[in-house]
Amino acid sequence: MANSGSHRNKAEENQSFLDTIDANRFPGWVASVASYTALHLVESMAAQSQKHFKDHSSRHQYLKKEHTKLWNDYLPLFNLSLIARYGAKKIKTVHVEQAKQHLAGLRKTLDSK
C-alpha cells in the first residue's frame, strides 16, 4: 500500500500533467486527470490515518460518512471522469471549468484541515 507521501506525489504529478492539457482539444482528458488528481489527494489524506481503500465504493462510503465537504467536490469529478472515459456524451468546456472548480474546492478543503 502506498503511503500518504506517495499519493501526494502522484497527485502533484497528475496536476502538473493537467496543467499542460489543451482543454479545447482534449476536454475529456482534463476531466479524467482532474478526477485522478482528486483520488490521490483523498488517498493521501486517508493514509495519514492508516486508512486505505481497495475500491471506489469503499472510498465513496468513507467520504460520504466522514468528509461530506470533500465528497461534494469529489463526486462530480468522479462522475465527469466516467462520462469522459466510458460515455458517448462529449465533455464540454463548461464541464472542464466545473472539473477545475471542484478540484480547487477539494484542495481548499484539504488545505484547511
Report the pLDDT averaged over residues 13-26: 97
Express each pLDDT in 51-95 by its tens digit: 999 999 999 999 999 999 999 999 999 999 999 999 888 899 899
**How many separate domains does the chain show?**
1
Could you tell me the residue range of the domain that residue 78 belongs to? 4-111
Question: What's residue 87's pLDDT?
Answer: 87
What share of the chain in percent tops pLDDT 90?
93
What is 72-88 written as a DSSP string?
A: HHHHHHHHHHHHHHH-S
What is the 3-state secondary structure of 36-70? HHHHHHHHHHHHCCCCCCCCHHHHHHHHHHHCHHH
Q: What is the CATH number of the domain that holds 91?
A: 1.20.120.330
Question: What's residue 1's pLDDT?
Answer: 75
